Amino acid sequence: MGNSNSSPSTADVTAANPDDAGAGSGRCPSIGGLDDSLVAPMSTTEIHIQPTADACQSTPSKQLQATDFDLEVESAMASTTTFPDTGPEPSGRSRRVEDYYVLESTRLGRGHYATVYRGRSRRTNQPVAIKKIRRALTDETRLKSEVAALRKIQEHPNIVSLLDVFETAGDVYVVMELCTGGELFERLAEKGPYSEMDCVRHVRCMAEAVAFMHANDIVHRDLKPENILLSTPDDTLACIKIADFGLAKITTATSMKTKCGTWGYSAPEMISGSGCTFGYDAKVDSWSLGTILYILLCGFHPFDPNGTRSDNDMIAAIKKCHFDYADEAWVGISIQAKDLIKHLLVLDPNERYSIADVLAHPWITGREGVDIPVQPLSPTIHTDLARFQKTTRAKMYDEVDENEA
């Protein structure tokens, strides 16, 4: 398993310093204890790339025009994807990125084949993230797949927006929404103790975004805390944004076989080798969501509670699905939360919840008399989460990205 240092992820592309000024679009205010009516079912209108008075509204964007790169993407994905009639700014090889965007000196991330810069639109002054990708150093199939996936699902407010694509003979410039709120886990760790009800709101937003992906035949395959961002540092307006579609797969097939993802959040069938032989389906995203939920509620990884297991020991625990609720951190957490996790972290994918099942679960819907605690999970939950973040940064769970089978 190789280390994931070859390129900045889309999270690197879109996440910025929380102190940066910038408005996010979308819905689902995530940090403040807001009225549940603000997390009602999603709108299907197109994303507007400028800030509005209501950060949870969206408006149509401009017509998308094909470039040589676009046509190659369409050709590569013709059997599984169609492009929307509306989308980012018109793009083409005859246009230059510098004519439409100011490429600032602030570098947000750097990898083997890509460098990510902060930028802004010359037309609207909107801050953006610009990923400059060296064509000679990258796998264009993966790049085209990422762009195609983002174009297919760009109207969802809880998915990071693709704004524009430019190309030259040597480079491709991918212009993305800049998420100035940073990573969700980092923000929660900074803000102080949070409640189980807060976790409901966060997970509901994530699940609705993933459900939208699945409805559009896209499996993310790399859901993890680093890819769960916030649109803005303003707690009253912050919206969950799922990022990094570098391993996303557009497929109408019933199963996939590529061994990929970040193994600390990958389903057992993806890392055991059985998936390469027998295939796996969209429920790998359910497993990842279950792992994220577990960490949110207690502040440690279900398969490495003390953060001390070796890679091999942790992978073995994942393959056997060995986890529990024995730690005192679980004492005040609702039965319904534990029940949802129990149905997500399931070894047999046939028995595992789909994302549709997640959205219908009482812990998410609030039906069936579920009483979700609104008091802090514990006085130290935020520091526990911060400790987990620090441990994760040190361990850097490997990302696997083998060729498509």
What DSSP string runs through 271-328?
Answer: HSSHHHHH-B-THHHHHHHHHHHHHHHHSSBTTBTTS---HHHHHHHHHHT-----SG
Backbone φ and ψ of 85, nearest 5° = -75, -20
Residue 404: DSSP 8-state: P
- For residue 23 the two structure tokens come to 């408005």
State which amino acid sits at residue 213.
M
CB atoms inside a 10 Å sphere around CB 51: 18
CB contact set of 33 (below 8 Å; sequence gap of 6+): 195, 197, 198, 374
Residue 132 labelled as part of a binding site = yes
- Residues 252, 402, 15, 314, Cα dihedral to 10°: 110
CB atoms inside a 10 Å sphere around CB 273: 11
Cβ 388 vs Cβ 189: under 8 Å: no
**Best CA proximity match to 347, nearest among 293, 386, 307, 302:** 302
Cβ 33 vs Cβ 197: under 8 Å: yes
- For residue 331 the two structure tokens come to 């004492």
CA distances from 235 to 71, 232, 393 (A): 40, 8, 25
Handedness of CA 9, 11, 17, 20 (dihedral sign): positive
Look at residue 113 and give its three-state secondary structure. coil
Cα(147)–Cα(140) distance, integer angstroms: 10
Within 102-220, residue ranges assigned H as helices are: 140-152, 184-191, 196-215
Cβ 283 vs Cβ 354: under 8 Å: yes
> 184-191 vs 283-298: helix axis angle to the nearest 10?
10
What DSSP string runs through 209-275?
Answer: HHHHHHHTTEE-----GGGEEES-S-TTT-BEEE---TT-EE--SS-B---EEEGGGS-HHHHSSHH
Question: Active-site residues: which are they?
Answer: 222
State which amino acid sits at residue 313.
D
Binding residues for ATP: 132
